[in-house]
Amino acid sequence: MAEQLWGGRFSKSTNEMINEFQASIQFDKRMYHEDIAGSMAHAKMLAKCGIISDEDCSKITDGLQNILEQIEHGDFDFSIDLEDIHMNIEKRLTETIGEAGGRLHTARSRNDQVALDTHMYVRRETAAVQKLILDLQTAFVATAKKYSDTIMPGYTHLQRAQPILFSHHMMAYFSMLSRDFSRFKGVYERCDIMPLGAGALAGTTFPINRQMVADELNFSAVYANSLDAVSDRDYIMEFLSAASILMVHLSRISEEIIFWCSREFSFVELDDAHCTGSSMMPQKKNPDVSELVRGKTGRVIGHLMAMLSTVKGLPLAYNKDLQEDKEGLFDTIDTVKFSLAVYAQLIRGMKVNKENMLKAVQEDFSNATDLADYLVKKGMPFRSAHAVSGKAVHYCIEHNKWLEDLTMDEFKSLSDLFSEDIHEAIKAQTCVDNRNSYGGTSPKQVQMQFELAQNILNNE
């Protein structure tokens, strides 16, 4: 009979298939570091409070340190019979240090232990994700600065709308990522609460000091309600929400990069090192990174939905359903970190085809608003100016011309408010320069965004 740590009230060992079904060691072993750090802090507190002896405490600490080294060197055999990371480590500890190991679990349950480990894990990984977001933001700013005066079409409905600076477009991505960063900051704050000491659900009969454990493990606060401490998974749902929104952003960026590097657009070229070819078509160079990130977004959103659905119907306090919080969380962490790291490289290696971007602006009517604005500045009501500009576009389409090609006579026949300065007023560069309202696409406004960005990057 497999010797379970909770085997006392049982007369039969667990069915083998059930054993495997209910185990979490296959995936929760990645929290070994948090589990050991948490146990060390717990043992230290138990000793300080006179619940275990100092001698037992140092045996426990040394034993745990040994186990940590074994795991790190790959010398630790995780057993599925011992269900999870908590019991694998505790069992090994007792095997090596004897009775003192059996005292470690005093005033503790796996319910508050797993909550502690997961809080610590999410806290650490949240900080890691934040760092990667900052690096990607840095890559966007660098690319924006490198091509700071490049003009491209801005789109609505994926139809050319008004000329913009490419750098303005890059800085829009920067802004999206700033909100992601601050969302993860919120996740960190609400994850930074210490659950240990809640026991199984109701607290403990021992005179523990929870604040001591919180201080030892650098937590800002302690859960004030033991039922809440063991059943709260908000910080996981929040992490998954923040991760989903971040992935949605990366996915929108991906979508643009995918069509920007298609032959039809030819706006950017990705580094060969960041693309793959086709096994059949020798000419192909595919933007796999962007496609994969777009694809993986669905997977992360799926993990969020799974977690929300898991928690939705659960009564307080701990239920085994909660063990389902981990795989989706871990996969999300891996996916988000990998995607961010890969994207920073992709953006740093991306070359912009300035000529094609400018050509796309010149060979269209995206200066039609500027034509209307010109007339408004000469005194015409905007609504009438819109109609005149629309007629000018119609005339051009019929005569196979662009607005810049119209002669002075042709302009005059549309409105006598037109004079020689109209040609300058509708040049792409003028259209961009003139959009100087706060947050607009003018070089001055983009410069302002660079300064704001530098401030953000320096202070995070």
Catalytic residues: 157, 278
Residues binding ligand ARG (CB under 6 A): 24, 28, 84, 110-111, 114, 320, 322-323
The tokens of 448 are what?
A: 């302002």
Nearer to ligand ARG, 118 or 445 (CB): 118
Distances (CA, A) of 355 to 128, 140, 150: 39, 20, 9
How many Å apart are CA 189 and CA 185, to the nearest integer?
6
How many Å apart are CA 218 and CA 188, to the nearest integer?
13
Nearer to ligand ARG, 240 or 350 (CB): 240
In whole angstroms, how close is the CB of 90 to ligand ARG at the nearest point?
A: 12
DSSP β-ladder status, 193-194 and 351-352:
unpaired
Nearer to ligand ARG, 317 or 361 (CB): 317
Nearer to ligand ARG, 26 or 384 (CB): 26
DSSP β-ladder status, 159-165 and 151-156:
antiparallel
In whole angstroms, how close is the CB of 453 to ligand ARG at the nearest point?
A: 41
Amino acid in the structure at residue 441: T
In whole angstroms, how close is the CB of 101 to ligand ARG at the nearest point?
A: 19
In whole angstroms, how close is the CB of 321 to ligand ARG at the nearest point?
A: 9
In whole angstroms, how close is the CB of 214 to ligand ARG at the nearest point?
A: 21
Nearer to ligand ARG, 191 or 340 (CB): 191
Q: What number of H helices and E strands is found in the chain?
A: 20, 6
Q: What are phi and psi of 396, to 5 degrees?
A: -60, -45
Handedness of CA 73, 77, 80, 85 (dihedral sign): negative
How many Å apart are CA 442 and CA 432, to the nearest integer?
5
With CA atoms as reference, report the closest residue to 126 among 194, 191, 177: 191
